[in-house]
């Protein structure tokens, strides 16, 4: 009996047995799945690794200019911007502190202290500076200035003697523009009463020496004449 049943199940022509007969296709499908699983677990071949590495290199090389621009911007805004700010502040403090030695009272009318050298030359009579307090040899805060007038200059293309500094990469003063990495210019302007001076200082980096372009800092402050002032023009201070 068992032999007859087995014969009937193996006979493809027997009705009702077709769903049980395709055993070999099922086995082949299972073997195929096992081979797929084994292939997925075997890892990457050397060729596949090299292809992936080549694609990664191509992507990185394409993004390299972006990284370079970002580094340049960080350099300019970080290191150089900090330096020009510091140099501008140093000059402003120096100009505002002109209140002794060869001048009287608060230094408002100082026109003979050469601040473009270090230490500042404060004695025209002693021969340490050629500033005379009269045009064209005026320095300091411009000396006694007429109302609504300006001395010095801040445009980089129009430096004025005694109103410009040249600095190297470390911020040291130079005697000329040769080798300069930073420039520092300033101007002094009076109001309509000549009792108030507006001081503007601009420190800039040299664009040819700075990655990402030139960086500059502008500082502006005012200085008011203290009265009484023996150097003030007649009528400026109440008697």
127: left (phi over 0), alpha (psi -120 to 50) or beta: left
Q: Does the global pTM surpass 0.85?
A: no
Tokens of 45: 């071949």
3-state helix, strand and coil shares in percent for the chain, rounded to the nearest 5: 35, 15, 45
Query: How does pLDDT run across 60-79, given as a tens digit for each residue?
Result: 787 778 777 777 667 666 78
- 189, β-bridge pairs: 150, 198
What number of residues does the chain have?
Answer: 239
Which residue has 């020496």 as its token pair? 209
- Structure confidence by residue, pLDDT tens digits, 16-67: 444 444 555 667 776 677 666 655 555 567 788 888 888 888 887 877 787 7
Could you tell me which residues come within 8 angstroms of residue 55 by beta carbon, excluding any fewer than 6 positions away?
none
Q: Is it true that the peptide bond before 84 is cis, omega within 30 degrees of 0?
A: no
């Amino acid at each position: 009996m068992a032999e007859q049943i087995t014969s009937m199940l193996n006979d493809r022509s027997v009705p009702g047995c077709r769903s049980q007969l395709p055993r070999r296709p099922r086995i082949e499908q299972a073997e195929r799945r096992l081979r797929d699983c084994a292939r997925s677990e075997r890892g990457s071949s050397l060729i596949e690794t090299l292809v992936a590495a080549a694609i990664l290199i191509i992507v990185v090389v394409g993004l390299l200019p972006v990284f370079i621009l970002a580094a340049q911007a960080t350099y300019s805004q970080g290191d150089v911007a900090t330096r020009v700010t510091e140099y501008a502040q140093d000059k402003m403090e120096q100009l505002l502190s002109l209140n002794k030695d060869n001048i009287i009272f608060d230094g408002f009318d100082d026109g003979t202290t050469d601040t473009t050298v270090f230490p500042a030359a404060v004695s025209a009579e002693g021969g340490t500076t050629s500033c005379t307090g009269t045009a064209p040899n005026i320095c300091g805060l411009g000396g006694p200035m007429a109302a609504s007038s300006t001395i010095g200059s801040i445009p980089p293309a129009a430096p004025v003697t005694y109103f410009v500094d040249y600095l190297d990469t470390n911020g040291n003063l130079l005697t000329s523009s040769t080798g300069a990495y930073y420039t520092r210019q300033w101007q002094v302007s009076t109001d309509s009463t000549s009792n108030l001076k507006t001081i503007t200082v601009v420190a800039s980096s040299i664009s040819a020496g700075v990655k990402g372009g030139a960086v500059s800092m502008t500082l502006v402050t005012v200085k008011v004449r203290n009265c009484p002032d023996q150097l003030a023009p007649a009528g400026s201070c109440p008697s």
